[in-house]
Structure formats: C-alpha cells, structure tokens
A and B are shown apart, each in its own frame.
Chain A
Amino acid sequence: MTEATLAYPGHTDPNAFTRAELDWLPWLAPLPAEELTDRHWAGLVDAARAKSPYFMLLARDPDILGARTRTDKDIFYNTAGGLPRAERELAATAASRFNGCIYCASVHARFASHHSKRTEDVDRLLADGVGADLGARWNAIVAASVALSATPVAFGAEHVAALRAAGLDELQIADVIHSAAFFNWANRLMLSLGVPELPAGGG
C-alpha cells in the first residue's frame, strides 16, 4: 500500500518565486506516526518535525535524516566568528533560485529578508534571478553560490578572489561554500519528492 505514489487532483503548482509561505505535498507516503520507533524519533531530531510530511517521508531512512539535520543546523546557525546568518540565507536563496526550487527559495528568502532587513534586494533576487545587482558583497556571495551549484562545479579562484575583495575571510568563505553546497542537497529532495502548493485562501 505504501508502494504507490500519491496524487493531488486539481493541484496547481506555484509558478513564480515568492516570499509567501507555501505548503508542500509529498508524492510518496510519509511514515505513519504509529510506526515511529526510537530510531525514527532520533532521526527526526526535533519532535515537532513529526508534524511535517516532508520530514516524515525522510524519516523512512532515519539515520541519514538525523545526520543531515545536524549538518544543516550547524551550517546555518553556528555563526561563531564567521558569516552572518543573513548571508548564509542569501547563499541558500541564490542556490535555490538557480536550481529552480520555488519552495526552498520561499523559505530562505524569508529568512534572508528577516535577518538582513534588505527585503527589496531579496525580492529582486527572486524576481530577476541570480544576475540581479545587489551590491558588491551580495553579488560576490550570489555569484559564488551559483558557481558552486553548477554541474560540473564552476567555483574557482576568481570566486575566492571576489569574496576576499568583498571583505570575507577564510572562515566566512568556507561558510558560503557550505551554505550553498547544502542547498544543493535540500533543493534536490524538495524538488523530487513532492510539490509545493499555495495554502488554501493564500496567494
């Protein structure tokens, strides 16, 4: 019964980048709550994530989910001595915009906007794409994130030089690399295991 895909008749994909809150519908059955063992709870890391269809689908393989979640949290929340949170979220948004993940971009555009207070620049990135002119420092972070997201990876000495010229030190550049790289993980899961949806009455 779980070996079938899930259908959403009448569903319409959001077809533009947005900072609005979107829902996400899984194409495969999430783990039913009554099947959660201690190992699954450990994989979820935060018990509240048992309410999320996305995390309950990923909880089918709990060991990689737990390690992934802990990787994610340190890359985005551990700002000690390094890149400010706003610019980590900028890197996440740029990677998501470039890869075409409307759901991921919506979440991390909200975070980038909140932490930077540069909502107009974030909206320009969403509307105009990764070529938008956001000032030297943000341009360098966006260009580095895009080069890292290309396949084959196109990140090289010129991106390091531009980030250094924008004032980033080695730890901060490593933070940019990890933030953009992580969204190449997140984007692929979100894009391929389900579909975003505008919440009922929203838009």
Chain B
Amino acid sequence: MTEDVIDRLAGLPAGSPLHAIRAQRPQARDNAQASYLALFQPEHPGDVSLAERNAVAAFVAGLHGEAEIAAFYASGLDDAEIMAAEAVRAATRGPYGRFPAGPLSAEDVEGPLYRASPGVPAKLAAGLEHAHALVFHPRDVGVADLQKLLDAGWSTTGIVTLSQLVSFLSFQIRVVVGLRALAEAA
C-alpha cells in the first residue's frame, strides 16, 4: 500500500484532525489516490511515457507556484531543471480567455500564450503548451489545439490521458492547498 499523496503533500499525518475529516469521505480519499496511481503508476502506460507524465506534472505544479508539489513530481526526472525553468518562464495568473462572441464578450480577459523553449523535444513541447492553456485559459482551447497535439505525435488516447493528467492535477493541487489552509486556520 502506497502513502496517500494528498496527505503527504498537505501535511496531514495519521492522527491529525484533517486526516480524520478525510476518513469520513473514504471513497473520495481512496479514489483520489487511485486517480493518482492510474496516471503516475499506470498498469497500461499506453501512448504516454512515465517520463512525459512526470515532466508535465512538474511543469503544471510549477505553474501553480507550488514548489513542493513540483519537486514531488520532478524527483527522478532527467529534465527536472528544464521543467522548473519552463514553469518559471510560463507562470502567470488565471483563469483568462475568451467566450464565444456575444453577451459574455464583455468578460473576455486577454493573457499570454506560452510557447516551449526550442530545446524541449517536439512532442513534450506540444504537451507543455497544451498544459499551460488548460491550467490558465481553458476556455480558449479549441479543436485546432487538439490537431496540434496530433501533429506533434500525440495519439487520440494519449490526448485523453494528457487532458486527464493536467485536469486531475488542477484538482489535486487545490485539495492540497485548501486542506493545508484549513489545517493552518484551526
């Protein structure tokens, strides 16, 4: 049995009040962990390598400004320093983006478009660029962005895995930060 990653990253040891709170939602706790395992220790890695998964995760955590979580995903990664540097260069504030033209256009917020550094291999670069859009301006993502991933060597199933991975991290990081804030405010 592996250590619960949210407990570890949020600092909720057995016996702490929020560890007991989480125990009241055992399906949510166990399946958040099962989601982590499905993405980062997959039985069937399929079209996305473990190195690609961890590189994107380290980048995504870095985009959130969560150094400790980024370090967790970067441990053992050959390109850890590159991912950290990319995240520093790419970090901004979200969500921004455009709505379909109409009454919501008044709420459109412009923001930067990230392009990976030339040294990053093409498939991973496309993955990082997509991850950046998902993290900061998901409402801008269109069918052309999926075509770019296909063109860069991502399969349809690989795009599903990449999308789940970035979206799962958007959840996991928020649970960690939220529970940590709740524990500190006790």
Chain A residues proximal to chain B, CB less than 8 Å = 2-7, 13-17, 27-29, 57-58, 60-61, 63-68, 70-71, 73-75, 78, 80-82, 98-102, 129, 148-153, 155-157, 159-161, 170-171, 173-175, 177-178, 180-182, 184-189, 191-193, 195
Q: Which B residues lie within 8 Å of A13 (CB)?
A: 100
Alpha-carbon distance A57/B158, docked complex (angstroms): 11
Whether A155 and B178, one on each chain, are in contact in the complex, defined by CB atoms closer than 8 angstroms, is yes
Q: Which A residues lie within 8 Å of B104 (CB)?
A: 15-17, 100
A14 to chain B, nearest CB (A): 7
Alpha-carbon distance A171/B167, docked complex (angstroms): 24
Q: Closest chain B residue to A73 by CB distance?
A: B27
Alpha-carbon distance A54/B21, docked complex (angstroms): 32
Query: Which single member of A27, A160, A175 contacts B181 (CB below 8 Å)?
Result: A160
What 0/1 readout, one digit per residue, does chain B (154-186) give for beta carbons within 8 Å of chain A? 011101110111111011111101110110111
Q: Which B residues lie within 8 Å of A6 (CB)?
A: 143
Whether B93 and A152, one on each chain, are in contact in the complex, defined by CB atoms closer than 8 angstroms, is yes
Q: Which A residues lie within 8 Å of B156 (CB)?
A: 2-3, 28-29, 60
Question: How many chain-B residues does the 8 Å CB contact rule pick out?
Answer: 73
Whether A151 and B164, one on each chain, are in contact in the complex, defined by CB atoms closer than 8 angstroms, is no
Q: Is B72 an interface residue (CB 8 A)?
A: no
Q: Using known A-B contacts A71-B31, A160-B185, A173-B182, determine if residue A100 contacts B167 with beta carbons closer than 8 Å.
A: no
Contacts A/B (CB < 8 Å), 18 sampled: A3-B155, A14-B100, A15-B100, A15-B103, A16-B102, A27-B146, A74-B27, A82-B25, A148-B177, A170-B186, A173-B182, A174-B21, A184-B171, A185-B168, A192-B141, A192-B146, A193-B163, A195-B143
A63 to chain B, nearest CB (A): 4
Q: Which B residues lie within 8 Å of A180 (CB)?
A: 174, 178
Q: Closest chain B residue to A187 by CB distance?
A: B138
Q: Which B residues lie within 8 Å of A71 (CB)?
A: 27-28, 31-32, 34-35
Query: Which single member of A5, A173, A177, A184 contacts B167 (CB below 8 Å)?
Result: A184
Q: Using known A-B contacts A28-B146, A170-B18, determine if residue A188 contacts B24 with beta carbons closer than 8 Å.
A: no
